Structure 1
Amino acid sequence: MEQDYRLFIEKVKRKTGIDLSLYKETQMKRRLTSLYQKKGFHSFQEFFQGMERDRELLYAFLDRMTINVSEFYRNRKRWDVLEEKIIPRLLSKNRNLKIWSAACSTGEEPYTIAMVLSNFLPLSEIKILATDLDENAIQKAKIGAYQERSLQEVPEQMKRKIFFKDQNHYLIHEEVKRTVTFKKHNLLADPFDKNFDLIVCRNVLIYFTEEAKNSLYKKFSASLKPGGVLFVGSTEQIFNASQYKLEPIETFFYQKIE
């Protein structure tokens, strides 16, 4: 059994870039064993061979091993504000926007940014940096296969434009994937790039101490251009934004003071 699982880990890493050894072995093994038994397999090797033959099985594996649960257009009304008010304001100054999705998880957030921008710019002109600490989440984001429940808030017209259906999953079109560059990055330890027009960091800071939040708001502010915008999550309102050289312009949107 041990050898069976170790070999499975190696093969999965070669196939997908995902490293199962980074997860707690007992829990992950239990989750995946219940999945392969449900699908009628008797070992990890049999299961991997099944995944080689059947893409839907591969997607089922990706869903089971990913702990992060996210969705496109999370808190839809905020994305409407981004589309109707923030993006037009930023584009009026500069069409070549520099954008960062910080803590992007399995890719729903940066791909949503690409969807919003695709209403204003051709996909070939859209460039988004997306970073996360979790290498496996990044690998899953690069594969770009999602269950229907993640797409509940996606407008129907956008769903047709951005995704194609493969059995029970929705896959991101290659030209949309090319708008996003994924990288591993530790918000608390790694340096930040500069001169961003827009930084999106939502539903992450709630997990940090007040001291860490304070440090991150300073770093985000320093990374924005004057007039650049920070978009935070719906539980992450910034009080005393002016101490970070930021000012609220819409609920959960803060502009760097010029």
Structure 2
Amino acid sequence: MGLYDYEWFKSGFLSMSGIDLNSYKEGQMKRRIDNFLKKHQVDDYNTFLSLLRQDTEIHDSFITYLTINVSEFYRNPLQWQTLEKDIIPLLLKRFPKPLRIWSAACSTGDEPYSLAMVLSDFLPLSQVQILATDMDAEVLAKAKAGCYTGQSIKGLPQRYRDKFLEKDEHGIYHVSNKLKSCISFKQHNLLKDGYPQRVHLIVCRNVMIYFTEEAKERIYRRFSDSLCKQGILFVGSTEQIIGAKKYNFQGIQSFFYEKQ
């Protein structure tokens, strides 16, 4: 399977799905796709593209595989503590209620639910609006269901577990309806769909590392346009924004950028 065939596959897949694989780091993405083909005993990209068109189950499985869903509640606790101690009080001083938050590329929902839990310490959830988006319909369905294993919540402070989660007889934790009430889940592709406007806080963590530099630039510019002036972008632990000023961002804490 040569590079020419792969270029042809990317073009066909874009036409079929709207997902532009050119925006992802090529070596990393091609290896992932080739591994998927081997697992499903497919010999070439042409056959695989036909299979994706014909088999909904394979298609959905492939989309989920591509979107690299590694998530857990309260991931990287020190960053969440900075959010609680410094960032949320700042947002509450600056902006009227309801507080508008976008959890971009939210995967299985661990992040937006964690956000809602933290915010509940500061204001009623009726004054919080969280938009949680991902391009993978399958993980969004899991997020809406709000059912998690003990592994997913291992880093979550006990006070949030007691307040918002209920454990069933199988050891599965269920998110309360009260917590769900402030979150809207929506399918969304960061590379091609419209962005919400007048947002106070955008959380997009551990996603940008998979994109090319060109794709990152486009997304950061659109994040900046999406935020209110003095709104905050919260990024992942390996995602320092190089040249943040060209997107009208100023670093105010590690992993937090303010729109100027």
- TM-score, normalized by the shorter chain, greater than 0.5: yes
C-alpha distance in 1 between matches for 2:203 and 2:100:
11
Q: In the TM superposition, what is the alpha-carbon distance from 1:22 to its structure 2 partner?
A: 3.1
C-alpha distance in 1 between matches for 2:250 and 2:239:
14
C-alpha distance in 1 between matches for 2:214 and 2:224:
16
Q: In the TM superposition, what is the alpha-carbon distance from 1:23 to its structure 2 partner?
A: 3.5
Q: Which amino acid aligns with 1:129?
A: L
Which one of the candidate residues 187, 209, 212 is aligned to 1:209?
A: 212
Matched, 1:254 2:257: yes
Matched, 1:23 2:60: yes
Which one of the candidate residues 192, 197, 207 is aligned to 1:194?
A: 197
SS of 1:150's partner is coil
**Aligned residue for 1:135?**
137
Question: Could you tell me the TM-score, scaled by structure 1's length?
Answer: 0.74
C-alpha distance in 1 between matches for 2:57 and 2:168:
25
**Aligned residue for 1:224?**
227
SS of 1:127's partner is strand
Q: In the TM superposition, what is the alpha-carbon distance from 1:24 to its structure 2 partner?
A: 4.7
Q: What whole-Å deviation, never above 9, does each CA across 1:167-188 have from its counterpart, x for those lacking one?
A: 2110000111111100000000
C-alpha distance in 2 between matches for 1:88 and 1:151:
25
C-alpha distance in 1 between matches for 2:68 and 2:230:
36
Q: In the TM superposition, what is the alpha-carbon distance from 1:115 to its structure 2 partner?
A: 0.7
C-alpha distance in 1 between matches for 2:68 and 2:190:
20
**Aligned residue for 1:79?**
80
Q: In the TM superposition, what is the alpha-carbon distance from 1:68 to its structure 2 partner?
A: 2.5
Q: In the TM superposition, what is the alpha-carbon distance from 1:88 to its structure 2 partner?
A: 0.3
C-alpha distance in 1 between matches for 2:112 and 2:249:
23
Q: In the TM superposition, what is the alpha-carbon distance from 1:21 to its structure 2 partner?
A: 4.8
Which one of the candidate residues 184, 188, 191 is aligned to 2:187?
A: 184
C-alpha distance in 1 between matches for 2:182 and 2:119:
10
C-alpha distance in 2 between matches for 1:150 and 1:254:
27
Moved over 4 A (4+): none
**Aligned residue for 1:43?**
none
SS of 1:129's partner is strand
Q: In the TM superposition, what is the alpha-carbon distance from 1:123 to its structure 2 partner?
A: 2.0
Query: Quick check: 201-210 or 90-99, which moved more?
Result: 90-99
Q: Which amino acid aligns with 2:91?
A: L
Structure 1 residues 67 and 20: alpha-carbon distance in aligned structure 2, compared to 1, 3 A threshold: farther
- Which ranges in structure 2 are unaligned for 5 or more consecutive residues? 1-55
C-alpha distance in 2 between matches for 1:22 and 1:123:
37
Matches within 5 A, 1:1-258: 20-24=57-61, 68-94=69-95, 95-167=97-169, 168-257=171-260
Percent of aligned pairs sharing the same letter: 51
Q: Which amino acid aligns with 1:93?
A: R
C-alpha distance in 2 between matches for 1:125 and 1:87:
13
- Which ranges in structure 1 are unaligned for 5 or more consecutive residues? 1-18, 29-65
Q: In the TM superposition, what is the alpha-carbon distance from 1:67 to its structure 2 partner?
A: 7.0
Q: Which amino acid aligns with 1:151?
A: I
RMSD: 1.7
C-alpha distance in 1 between matches for 2:81 and 2:205:
15
C-alpha distance in 2 between matches for 1:68 and 1:240:
28
SS of 1:183's partner is strand
C-alpha distance in 1 between matches for 2:202 and 2:147:
24
C-alpha distance in 2 between matches for 1:69 and 1:223:
25
C-alpha distance in 2 between matches for 1:248 and 1:194:
21
C-alpha distance in 2 between matches for 1:186 and 1:20:
20
C-alpha distance in 1 between matches for 2:187 and 2:61:
20
